[in-house]
Amino acid sequence: MRERKMADVMFGAREVFFRRGYEGASVDAIAAEGKVSKATMYSYYPSKEQLFLGVVESECGRLAEEILRPLSRASEPRALLEELAQRIVDLVLDDTYIRLLRTCIGASEALPEVGEVYFRAGPKPARELVGQVLERLTREGALDVDDARRASDHFIHLCVSGLLMPRLLAVKRAVKPEKHAGEAVAALLRLYGSNHRDKVP
């Protein structure tokens, strides 16, 4: 029962914090949304701020798991890169994750800890994972990456280009991202393909 109620609290809190932001969310609304009494809520979390941090940490944990999920054993470099790209695109298209990011950004000036937690759960491991893949593909001769960190940033930003901003700003827009991952991989290969140094820049 305890775990069940705990989950109810988190569920309601997540929804209300995502919808109204940290400051805009009221604890009464959170309790109502989770169908839980305020007394129970306060028996689990001593304050609204702690509850918010709990939600952010829990959601960031799920996010980090999602990012670090094992890759398939695809051997073909292009397939591997497309799997990575698709995973990034899917994250940006996922409502829960984008609302989490929106909420963290909105709260990060007043509660810098929140921004830090999200950064360590999202962008940082993503960059590291992508970096490892790019380095491996470079060792195997499929890519020619000198600075894995910079190349990872480039790859990730090619993946989210044109998608992230409208999503963050809640701009209603018929985003058509079917070919997005493929295009990002194509761009990356042009940027860092193993024969890119042959060119006269």
Please report, as ranges, the residues that interact with a second copy according to CB under 8 A.
18-24, 99, 102-110, 112, 115-116, 118-119, 123, 149-150, 153-154, 156-158, 160-162, 165-166, 168-172, 183, 186-187, 189-191, 193, 195-196, 198-201
Residue 105's binding partner, choosing from DNA, a second copy, none, with beta-carbon cut-off 5 to 8 A by kind? a second copy
Cβ contacts of 99-104, under 8 Å, gap ≥ 24: 99/18, 100/18, 100/56, 100/59, 100/60, 100/63, 101/168, 102/18, 102/168, 102/170, 103/17, 103/18, 103/21, 103/22, 103/56, 104/56
DSSP 8-state class, residue 74: -
Query: Measuring CA to CA, which residue among 137, 115, 126 is closest to residue 88?
Result: 126
Q: How far is the CB of 6 from DNA (least distance, A)?
A: 7
Partner that binds at residue 64, options a second copy, DNA, none, CB closer than 5 to 8 Å by kind? none
What values do phi and psi take at 91, rounded to 5? -60, -45
DSSP at 36: -
- Taking CB within 5 to 8 Å according to partner kind, which of DNA, a second copy, none is near residue 110? a second copy
Whose Cβ is closer to DNA: residue 45's or residue 97's? 45
Closest CB 108 distance from a second copy, rounded Å: 4
36 binds, among DNA, a second copy, none (CB under 5 to 8 A by kind): DNA
Q: What is the DSSP letter of 146?
A: S
Q: Does 2 bind DNA (CB under 7 A)?
A: yes
Per CB under 7 A, does 127 bind DNA? Answer: no
- Work out whether 7 is an interface residue with DNA (CB under 7 A): no
Question: What residues have CB less than 8 Å from 110, skipping those under 6 apart?
Answer: 22, 23
Q: Which residues bind DNA (CB under 7 A)?
A: 1-2, 5, 25-29, 35-40, 42-43, 46-49
